[in-house]
Amino acid sequence: MGEESVADLSNFFPLTAYKSKLGLAESYRVELLKEITKDYKKENIDHKKNETAWTGDVSGFEFLHVRKSFENLFKEISNQVETYRETLKVADNVFDFYYTRSWATVTTNQQDIQFHKHLQSHITAVYYLKVPKDSGDIILEPFLGYNQNEFIPGLLQKKSFTDGTLEPSLYLSPGAGINVETDEILIFPSKTSHGTVKSKAQESRISISADIVAVLKDSNSKEYFLPPLDMWRKF
């Protein structure tokens, strides 16, 4: 009998989510929690009655990165974004990075964050300030709802997994769940569709999201990226 052949699988077109521990002191995290809780309660609304989480960006609290109390947090996030850039092998002398928006989310029992994209930015960073047990994983979906391995249109519909046609795998999956813990940061392309599993925790999960835009340091001979900000003119 001949030797059994072994398949050689080549996986292309990856989506990489970068996750790391930030290492912020607990005392500092408590300070940030107090400030976010103050924002959360300022509207004098019982947000726990909603099915979806409270998000500061649509409540008037979308610029945490300019607050003095959050300065150290965003210094650490910046360092992690630099490591993310290095991981993807993007040269360090081509782009400047800018925070455009940043906000907190508060998710209580039986709430979730519905699937969405941040199409107005390039990189999204999420810092998990407080993550109680069973408060819900974050789910990343394929770009534009399209999976390269879906060789039959509609193969990835929910029914395929419930009727035994498919089982979730690295190769064919409608999304990937990522378990996160307190003091961890997650960084991924902003165009990635993402949402969360419904929380089953009695305590609130609190995270801080930041949208980041990459702008050319020098636009000479480069056509497709945003030019330097000092060359922009308002009219």
Amino acid in the structure at residue 139: I
Domains of the chain: 18-132+182-216 (2.60.120.620), 138-178 (no CATH)
How far is 56 from 76, CA to CA, in rounded Å? 21
Question: What is the tens place of the pLDDT at every residue in 9-52?
Answer: 888 888 899 999 999 999 999 999 999 999 999 987 888 889 99
Question: What is the tens place of the pLDDT at every residue in 163-202?
Answer: 999 988 888 887 888 999 999 999 999 999 999 999 999 9
Task: Give the strand pairing for 95-107 and 54-55.
Answer: antiparallel
Model pLDDT, residue 40: 94
Model pLDDT, residue 4: 73
Task: Give the strand pairing for 54-55 and 138-140.
Answer: unpaired
Q: How many CB atoms lie within 10 A of CB 86?
A: 11
The Cα-based distances of 47 to 36, 41, 115, 202 in angstroms read 14, 9, 19, 14
Task: Give the strand pairing for 123-130 and 138-140.
Answer: unpaired
What is the value of pTM for the model shown?
Answer: 0.91
| C-alpha neighbours within 13 Å on the C-beta side of residue 102 | 23
How far is 77 from 75, CA to CA, in rounded Å? 5
Model pLDDT, residue 2: 60
